[in-house]
Structure 1
Amino acid sequence: MFKFWGSQDQQPQPRPQDGSSQSWYPPSVVSSPNSSRPGTPSSASSSSFSSHRTSDRPQSPSHVSPAEAAGIIAVLKDKSVDELRKLLSDKDAYHHFLLSLDQVKIQNNLRDELRKETLQLARENLEKEPRIMELRNQCRIIRTTELAAAQEKLNELERKKEETLKFYSPQSLLQRLQDAMNKTDEESENLHKQLLDGDVDLGTFVQKYKKLRTTYHRRALIHLSAKTSSIG
């Protein structure tokens, strides 16, 4: 009530908080509402401290399925409070527990199998490299030597093919038929002049002239029919 000289106010000393180690669990596991273990002051402070620390880091999206999460929680339920505290405070214990989970074992096995398959494919590719180099050299030789000769032969065959197609084309056949008609007509005219000049007798003239004119008219009919068909 009265203050004497030299007396000092007694300030309440802050009590030291119970030291707790940083949790190695994800916040979702530590603060899971489905946990059947009662909360303790140390675990509560550790959980809040861990939540505060993890909130400072960017949260990555969780890819754990509900079934896997339920399996992990079931494993944690079988552990005592001391074991859970050890997992929260001991990094090696947490790491050992993590590797003992079936989900982690499956992922590690898949990773090891993929690594082995990748290494095997790499070895097989390296073994094929000499053969690939040999085939590449052969292709280079063929391209510089045999390919040139084969290309020249191909060009010659292409030229012959074009000539053959042109020779047997409808326009070419009609033109050659027209030339044959003109030639037969000229031969018949020459034969007629020979008759007038007395170079051939009448019997021979009639026989040859009849044959030439028959050939001429046959070719003329064929030419007319082919020309009409091509136009139609």
Structure 2
Amino acid sequence: RFWCRGSQEQDAQQPRPQEASQSWYPPSVVGSSPGSSRPGTPNSPAVHVSPAEAAGVISLLKDKSVDDLRKLLTDKDAYNQFLFSLDQVKIQNNIRDELRKETLQLARENLEKEPRIVELRNQCRIIRTTELAAAQEKLNELERKKDEMLRSSSPASLLHKLQEAMAKAEDESEALHRQFLDREIDLPTFVQRYKKLRTTYHKRALIHLAAKTSTG
């Protein structure tokens, strides 16, 4: 019993370690300090600093007193004042401000173009409903004419037309022959016209035979 009481008294007399002052400073920075009692937060984002930038920050911190450094860890306003005085931070803030201005300018320009865009959209709608419909109808008509021309120019159609022309020349020859027999025309006129008709008939007959042979 006496041993337990002595142990309790000895434990009570031992000084308790002073609790670390709670700092608002980022956990990743506080945890990286060798004497800090707060480990770095695993999920805190990693800060990538080049050696030149780190050397520049160290050169600014090395001349500060311990009180000034402690104030940077505990005083948010002092830390912000020091942070925003760094050239790297100033450059980043300037870039951010420029990007923000450019974004706002683009947004204003887009808003100014909105009435023109609406007008062009309405014009396109009118063109689709009026001019485009008329152009489509004309195109359909031209397509129909093209199909008719292709059908009339097909080999079968040309052979048929040539055969009709042969029959016409044959009929005209027979009609001329009847006129001569009925003495409606004289011999010289009959010979001249009949020779011409028969020549035309035989030319067409030869062309028809050659075309039919090549296509058959």
Query: Normalised by the size of structure 2, how large is the TM-score?
Result: 0.75
Superposed, 1:158-197 pairs within 5 Å as 158-195=143-180
**Is 1:129 aligned to residue 114 of structure 2?**
yes
**Is 1:109 aligned to residue 108 of structure 2?**
no
For residues 27 and 165 of structure 1, what CA distance do their matches in structure 2 show? 83
| CA apart distance, 1:155 | 2.5
CA offsets 1:167-212 (integer angstroms, 9 cap, x no match): 4455544432332122212322343455456555443332222101
Higher alpha-carbon deviation: 147-156 or 119-128: 147-156
Give the direction of change, closer, same or farther, for the CA distance of 1:164–1:88 in structure 2 (3 Å limit). Answer: same
For residues 28 and 69 of structure 1, what CA distance do their matches in structure 2 show? 13
Q: Secondary structure at the match of 2:49?
A: coil
CA offsets 1:50-76 (integer angstroms, 9 cap, x no match): 32xx33x51324443444334333433
**Is 1:24 aligned to residue 19 of structure 2?**
no
Q: Secondary structure at the match of 2:70?
A: helix
Give the direction of change, closer, same or farther, for the CA distance of 1:29–1:20 in structure 2 (3 Å limit). Answer: closer
Q: Percent identity?
A: 68
| CA apart distance, 1:112 | 1.2
| CA apart distance, 1:98 | 1.7
RMSD over aligned Cα, in angstroms? 3.3
Q: Which residue of 1 aligns with 2:85?
A: 100
- 1:23–1:88 contact (8 Å) kept in structure 2: yes
Stretches of structure 1 lacking an aligned partner (at least 5 in a row)? 32-42
Stretches of structure 2 lacking an aligned partner (at least 5 in a row)? none
**Is 1:149 aligned to residue 134 of structure 2?**
yes
- 2:166–2:205 contact (8 Å) kept in structure 1: yes
| CA apart distance, 1:87 | 1.3
Q: Which residue of 2 aligns with 1:77?
A: 62
Query: Normalised by the size of structure 1, how large is the TM-score?
Result: 0.71
| CA apart distance, 1:29 | 8.1
Q: Which residue of 2 aligns with 1:88?
A: 73
CA offsets 1:123-171 (integer angstroms, 9 cap, x no match): 1111111122222223333333343333333333332333344444555
CA offsets 1:84-107 (integer angstroms, 9 cap, x no match): 222122222122222222222222
For residues 30 and 20 of structure 2, what CA distance do their matches in structure 1 show? 17
Give the direction of change, closer, same or farther, for the CA distance of 1:213–1:125 in structure 2 (3 Å limit). Answer: same
The structure, 1 or 2, with the larger RCO (C-alpha pairs under 8 Å, 6+ apart) is 1
For residues 15 and 177 of structure 1, what CA distance do their matches in structure 2 show? 127
Q: Which residue of 2 aligns with 1:11?
A: 10
- 2:30–2:38 contact (8 Å) kept in structure 1: no
- 2:28–2:44 contact (8 Å) kept in structure 1: no
Aligned residue type for 2:66: V
- 1:25–1:88 contact (8 Å) kept in structure 2: no
